[in-house]
Amino acid sequence: MRMVKCVPEGGNWKDIPTTIPSKRLEQIRESFKRGEGSRSTYYGRLRRCDPAYTINTYFSRPGNGCHIHYDQDRVLSPREASRLQGFPDSFEFLGSQGAISTQIGNAVPPLLAYQIAKSLGSPGVFIDLFSGAGGMGLGFKWAGWKPVVANDIHPTYLSTYARNVHDNVLVGSIASKEIFEKLLDAAKIARLDGGPFWVLGGPPCQGFSTAGKQRSMEDPRNHLAWDYVRFLHEAKPDGFVFENVTGLLNMEGGRVFANLREAFSSAMPSIIPSVLSTVQYAIPQRRKRVILVGTRMSHLLEWLPPAPVTSMRSGSAMLASLPNAISVQDALDDLPMLLPGQDGRSLLYRSDPRTPYQSFMRGRISAEEYLRRVGNTILQS
């Protein structure tokens, strides 16, 4: 708490005096002296008028990112972190506190998934692989798509998915022959719908993440990507959406991404990569992700990612035609004041919604209406 109180809005570990004893801070200072990076988000306090930094799985720890509340001396609560990811307040995460933090930090923001889904044309049905808590699936569901089955190796995450998205879930690894065959059976059912059939999901990203010093295909989690490709070959969907961290692009000098793209090309005639930044899609968070869209549908062979709807930074639009980015304060200031360590999920709001984002989070408007209101702000200014 002494450390937290020393960090001003927008500040970080450099604002903490050396008189406060901390082995962790000593390590950070020594690393900084050796030129091993600025660690600029460590012990960081959010700036109210800007979007948040990436919400990671350690948002409950002040020393692992920029997670200190902008005007309260504490880290973000799970309710606040999930809002910054774009999960509505009605979304219920299940499991232990650690499991909830992991589900929130690893999720695809549903609002980003919604805009990707809208860019694919008429809605169809989908199988959700490596689904986690259901951020990708929820966004597609908002866009009118119908879920067939969700698969993940973590039963707790699928319990969250079943509670909030749909209850047809399959626990187990796609690397298992039994699970793989059950997923193929689900693909046959999806085909009976008659509409577009797509596969969603990105394999676990820990091995690809820039958070690790060693990134290599020797990490066994990365081999799940090839099981994903094999499933595409055998299930023969109309398309797929693959999501992962940007560290994938430079892993082993770019060779892994090149090999992965070539493998996907063997299953789909059109493979289109893009890097999307959530801050440009009316989400109050700086989070970049690699998106691969593959399809055999003729009208999507030259698919374009959804057009940005907000600028890269609040208060200084890079494009005059776009509204400012959604800020942390835009997202959170109707939520109750909390004490350090207080969860706050059962507490009442401290005001009516003050922004369109808060109305969206509280279920008063749809994703479509929210984006319409954000787009209208430039016309009103």
CATH code for the domain in which residue 229 is found: 3.40.50.150
Based on the fold, state whether residues 130 and 10 are members of the same structural domain.
Answer: no
SS3 10: coil
Is 213's pLDDT higher than 90?
Answer: no
Strands (DSSP E) found in the chain: 44-45, 66-68, 125-129, 146-152, 169-171, 197-200, 239-245, 270-277, 288-295
**Measured between alpha carbons, how far is 48 from 70 in angstroms, rounded to an integer?**
6
Based on the fold, state whether residues 93 and 53 are members of the same structural domain.
Answer: no
Q: Give the closest residue to 143 by CA, choosing from 118, 161, 163.
A: 118
pTM, 2 dp: 0.92
- The backbone torsions φ and ψ at residue 347, rounded to the nearest 5 degrees and listed phi first, read -85, 155
Q: Give the closest residue to 233 by CA, choosing from 275, 292, 192, 294.
A: 294
Based on the fold, state whether residues 302 and 255 are members of the same structural domain.
Answer: yes
pLDDT at 30: 94
Classify burial at 165, counting beta carbons within 10 Å of its beta carbon; exposed 0-12, middle 13-18, buried 19 or more: buried
Check 6, 49, 66, 205 and give the catalytic one: 205
Is 219's pLDDT higher than 80?
Answer: no
Based on the fold, state whether residues 64 and 91 are members of the same structural domain.
Answer: no
Based on the fold, state whether residues 197 and 315 are members of the same structural domain.
Answer: yes
Is 65's pLDDT higher than 80?
Answer: yes
Tell me the pLDDT tens digit for each residue of 226-245.
899 999 999 999 999 999 98
Based on the fold, state whether residues 34 and 167 are members of the same structural domain.
Answer: no
Based on the fold, state whether residues 30 and 142 are members of the same structural domain.
Answer: no
Contact 104, 87 (CB under 8 A): yes
**Measured between alpha carbons, how far is 195 from 6 in angstroms, rounded to an integer?**
57
Show which of 35, 58, 76 is a domain's final residue.
Answer: 76
Strands 239-245 and 288-295: antiparallel
The DSSP secondary structure of 42-99, one letter per residue, reads TTEE--TTS-B----TTTT-GGGSEEE-SSSSSBPPHHHHHHHHT--TT----S-HHH
Arithmetic mean of pLDDT, 122-126: 97
**Measured between alpha carbons, how far is 205 from 88 in angstroms, rounded to an integer?**
24
Based on the fold, state whether residues 72 and 95 are members of the same structural domain.
Answer: no
Question: What does DSSP assign to residue 285?
Answer: B
Show which of 54, 76, 98 is a domain's final residue.
Answer: 76
Q: Give the closest residue to 274 by CA, choosing from 239, 238, 311, 249.
A: 249
Highest-confidence range of 108-112, 223-227, 297-301, by mean pLDDT? 108-112
pLDDT at 313: 65
Strands (DSSP E) found in 246-279: 270-277
Lowest mean pLDDT among 82-91, 174-183, 218-227, 338-347: 218-227
Residue-number span of the structural domain to which 324 is assigned: 84-381
Residue with more model confidence, 158 or 225: 158
Can you say whether the dihedral through the CA atoms of 180, 259, 190, 151 is positive or negative? positive
Where residue 257 falls among pLDDT bands split at 50, 70, 90? confident
Tell me the pLDDT tens digit for each residue of 306-352.
999 999 765 544 555 899 999 999 999 999 999 998 988 889 999 99
Angle at 79 between CA 77 and CA 80, to 5 degrees: 65
Can you say whether the dihedral through the CA atoms of 313, 314, 320, 323 is positive or negative? positive
Based on the fold, state whether residues 18 and 137 are members of the same structural domain.
Answer: no
Annotated catalytic residue 205: yes
Where residue 128 falls among pLDDT bands split at 50, 70, 90? very high
Contact partners, residue 346, CB within 8 Å, separation at least 6? none
Based on the fold, state whether residues 11 and 118 are members of the same structural domain.
Answer: no
Where residue 207 falls among pLDDT bands split at 50, 70, 90? very low
Based on the fold, state whether residues 53 and 93 are members of the same structural domain.
Answer: no
> Going edge to edge, which strands form the sheet with 169-171?
169-171, 146-152, 125-129, 197-200, 239-245, 288-295, 270-277
Show which of 76, 94, 117 is a domain's final residue.
Answer: 76
SS3 127: strand
Ramachandran region, residue 58 (left: φ > 0; alpha: ψ -120 to 50; beta: rest): alpha
Is 222's pLDDT higher than 80?
Answer: no
Is 210's pLDDT higher than 70?
Answer: no
**Domain total in the chain:** 2
pLDDT at 250: 86
Is 38's pLDDT higher than 90?
Answer: no
Based on the fold, state whether residues 215 and 298 are members of the same structural domain.
Answer: yes
